[in-house]
Structure 1
């Protein structure tokens, strides 16, 4: 395992040994969601590669028969000790797959069955919290470019050179709006969160992790495109929604949902990538894939302010890491 190898060199070595046909992303909770932009990117652009995305225990108990020596499994765990994801690496290796793992902890259990490990930061600042997502997306870009070719490869690399600074600046500039949000939403018993495109699972992780896990607030999450196929029936005056709004191809989906929320005076908070200048920094051909970076960074500030207003630290748990489960 060589943690210093860049994504380009890792993928070059893998495609030199194997005919890569299948890419599988595996994780749990926020780490699973952090892999989604890479999955979305490949779904949008790959013509031959097969793409899958699993919560780890689903992968372990119902392993796809297509996982073999032509498969690359990319797994992630922040602390590198999530038991289900550690097991997924072993399952993948047993099937002959090549495993790349992302974690912040050197020599963590996740590294045991990984062929390659990329270490990322997290706690240093808001940009650091995006490195897991970023490195995974970069691996996906390299896989596509080296296996099939990708016409916007250089534009993606240019985007990577800008997005971390932009996300950090965006988060720092969001504090006032986040405080106002926290004051408005601090007493809510349930909060619904939705988005679309590459940001779909940012909404998911914001709901299940930031709201349910870290704030003990009941929360529901769904794709903004699914809003009109069931969830919109609960819309009424002052029902609380958070809309994570993308710039790019799926903006029309988010805009349609927002128009309906406004029509019935729902209690709506919008975090919009456009407000933070994403399209001024990232070229339109690759814009969609960088929405999650800005929105994740900004909404982390929102979650922090909510925790302060509710006097409920983001680190507080009842069950997680405290019981056997």
Structure 2
């Protein structure tokens, strides 16, 4: 294997396994939630953490008739949500465990009698202390594995996901799959970074359960971490405005899901292939999921796409010599 920028395969597998080892504890949270009953589910956080959770809002919405809502925490604080009240179970996520808007939303939700379930990167954080249930992943990755187990188990108990036991058993292979995908895509990711890191304008497109991944990469990596001017647009919306900006020389990147909206992505692909000479497609279908059944590929598209795009992140950082940790304003200025 060629040397890869900022990638330690054995450590990656080790920390991935550390989350799967929490399976019983995570599933127990789902069991308690269902035993205590609930009226609806609510996903709320900020920035990339909200985007990480949004595919699970989509998962509940697609697989069940459980009322489920999502809202960025700052918007919830400003507007509220009439369906979120006692009987609601809210899911929150924060790498730091002290994200300002997320914490403020957690306090408001708690006052309303909403039970809080949090996915957190640091132990003993304010978010962990206020939550009814929490899973601290520390150095573990991917955080999505926690929610696949938690939401999958909840759907199973409620009678919507009969295949969950098999799905959960096969998730033990997910760290290796994500490792293999990173290795397989790295050369393409490196070339992408070299070719397009100086583009004055970029369009990123995706749909369905991979739309949050596309949106978060454009916002949190290219804009926030690399200061690259980028527009993200969903595949169904692409043909209602953004297509008019596409011409020769315009850099367009499409992420393709294996979920229900795949054909919407492929429609965009057919258009871009003939209208710009700077088009790149990343499709989860191009990579094997060793040890995981084909029936689960669509559900897992978001976490696999994240693995693909993370290799662009690491290679972009190396090419631009602009650390992904540098910020001009975020947590630097008050606003």
Q: Does 1:256 pair with 2:267?
A: yes
Which residue matches 1:302? 312
Contact preservation (8 Å) 1:192, 1:220? yes
Deviates more, 1:260-269 or 1:241-250: 241-250
CA contact (8 A) 2:94 2:119 kept: yes
Q: CA deviation at 1:81?
A: 1.1
- Pair 1:284–1:276, CA change in 2 (3 A): closer
| Cα offsets for 1:118-164 (capped at 9, x unmatched) | 01144xxxxx442x222123221122222344222234314422222
Q: State the partner residue of 2:48.
A: 30
CA distance in 2, matches of 1:173, 1:121: 27
What 5-or-longer segments of structure 1 have no aligned partner?
123-127
Residues 1-325 of structure 1 correspond to what in structure 2 (within 5 A)?
Answer: 6-17=25-36, 19-47=37-65, 49-122=66-139, 128-130=140-142, 132-278=143-289, 281-325=291-335
Q: Distance in 2 between matches of 1:317 and 1:129?
A: 23
The answer to whether the Cα contact below 8 Å between 2:259 and 2:299 also exists between their aligned partners in 1 is no
Aligned equivalent of 2:5: none
| Other structure's SS at 2:204 match | strand
TM-score by length of 2: 0.89
Matched residue SS, 1:269: strand
Give the TM-score normalised by the residue count of structure 1: 0.91
Of the structure 1 ranges 155-164 and 200-209, higher mean CA displacement relative to structure 2 is found in 155-164
Compute the displacement of 1:111 (Å): 1.4
Structure 2 CA distance for partners of 1:159 and 1:44, relative to 1, 3 Å: farther
The Cα RMSD (Å) is: 1.7
CA drift of 1:281 comes to 4.6
Which deviations, in whole Å up to 9, do the C-alpha atoms of 1:57-111 show, x marking residues without a partner? 1122222122223111000001111011011111111111110111110111111
Could you list the per-position Cα deviations for residues 157-207 of structure 1 after superposition, in whole angstroms to 9, with x for gaps in the alignment? 144222221011211232211111111102111211111121110001001
Count of aligned pairs: 313
1:2-50 deviation digits (Å, cap 9, x = unpaired): xx76222112122222x21211011111100000121111010112x11
Residues of 2 paired with 1:164 and 1:59: CA distance? Answer: 34
